[in-house]
Amino acid sequence: MSKNSEVSVLSTELLVTLDNALALTRDEVRTLHKNYGNASLVTLMSMLNFDRQFVRAEGTRVWDSEGNEYLDFLGGYGSLNVGHNNPHVIRALERVKNLPNIIQANIPTIAAALLHNLAQITPGKLKRSFLCNSGAEAVEGALKLARAATGRKTFIYCRNSFHGKSFGALSVTGREKYRNSFEPLLPECVEVPFGDAGALKRALREHEAAAFIVEPIQGEGGINVPPAGYLVEAARACREAKTLFIADEIQTGLGRTGAMFACQHENVEPDIMCLAKSLGGGIMPIGAFITTDDIWHKAYGSVEKATLHTSTFGGNTWAAAAGIAALEVLLKENLPAAAAEKGAYFMAQLKELKRKYPLIQDVRGRGLLTGIEFAQPGGLANMATMGLASKLSTEYLGSMVAGELLNRHRIITAYTLNNPNVIRLEPPLTVGKEELDYVLNALEDVLKRNKGFFSFAATSAKTVLKSIRGK
């Protein structure tokens, strides 16, 4: 196919139809992405054979175009709490398929029900929600709300945090790699160490901040759990400074950590909460930020201010229906409690692996949000490479372990974006104990076969060469 600049001759013959798209081979998919999308990402994914073509999914399992079955322990970065293609969510979409999906000149029916439901399940006085399309959009909306409600400009955020890659969200994301190419970002954004209440208090004294935004557990930072009491102390310090406390529960929320929301482990009531990912039941893109009556009215509580923050697709019928159904599954199947029980078992077994294998430096998390951090090369090997071995290990060991799990055991996982030396294990909350055991056994097999960074590097090199020969 070739592009023709003459608008008058454009026709469907230039397009790939849906029928043809469904019939594309793995090679054809790769070629289209290379030609029309992010070619460098295709190269990166291909190196460790992460460019498989998945054609079916159900619950915790997916199947590729060659008929191989995989366990999904990545879970869409927390988007699949109720599993792949949950039948209750799909039935909900079937029930609304003939309703208008997007009509701007009305007050949408299904969205009204979801707004009510969010107010019922969130902590404290959280009541008024804005429905959007993603986590980054929810963060953007929360930041705008904080400025509008307080009249202040400054935001405080945590080192190693991740809140999204749009400009506002990126401005309060704590990794330079993702920020440098896009500077200048929002001004008056102040970074403090995660888990350090004293540093936060100093920043609150030095800056008249609109809001402090924090993940109750840092996801992309490496599944970092703060010290006990940190969130309580942070929320109290924010109240004393008249600074709004924003809890980013996009990855930690909706049952993932063993409670409906991670901040509830310490009985913290945020001023604003951000949600997304699994709110769409693993099928529809949807996000939300929710706040109190008082804060909402300060920002948008008049006819003149009613349209200051809007979204074309936010609260559309299909997305809202998926959100309603996802919440029903979470509550009816008591998935937060399931995450707590299964997560405790999984964590105990992973810590036993840590005791046996020095390559595991740390295991941490809560519920079914788990991270494994790997030890760095030391001694003569690292000295001989002038520290290069340690640097390479920090950036690539996590992906090598994930590659081994995928290629040898057909388990899907990945490293965390801000700390590539950590792999996350984040399955759907519907995961079974036998599936947890399978992953534990697979991890032990990988650790037995590979004693350190250089061993993994040699294995990965073989995988890359095999992949290149086969393409």
Active site residues: 162, 248, 277
Q: Which residues contact 90 (CB under 8 A, 6 or more apart)?
A: 283
Sorted by sequence, the CB contacts under 8 Å of residue 455 that are 6+ apart come out as: 449
3-state SS of the chain: helix, strand, coil percent to 5?
A: 50, 15, 35
Alpha-carbon gap, residue 197 to 217, rounded angstroms: 15
Q: Which residues contact 427 (CB under 8 A, 6 or more apart)?
A: 60, 71, 72, 73, 75, 368, 435, 436
**Which run of H or of E encompasses 240?**
helix 230-240
Closest to 398 in 3D by CA, of 161, 74, 79: 74
What 3-state DSSP class applies to 253? coil
Q: Which residues contact 21 (CB under 8 A, 6 or more apart)?
A: none
Whether residue 277 contacts residue 237, with contact meaning beta carbons closer than 8 Å, is answered with no
Q: Where are the alpha helices (DSSP H) in 5-130?
A: 18-22, 26-36, 39-47, 75-78, 87-96, 109-121
Residue 371's SS3 state is strand
User: For residue 156, which phi and psi values (nearest 5 degrees)?
Assistant: -110, 135
CA distances from 404 to 74, 231, 457 (A): 15, 37, 11
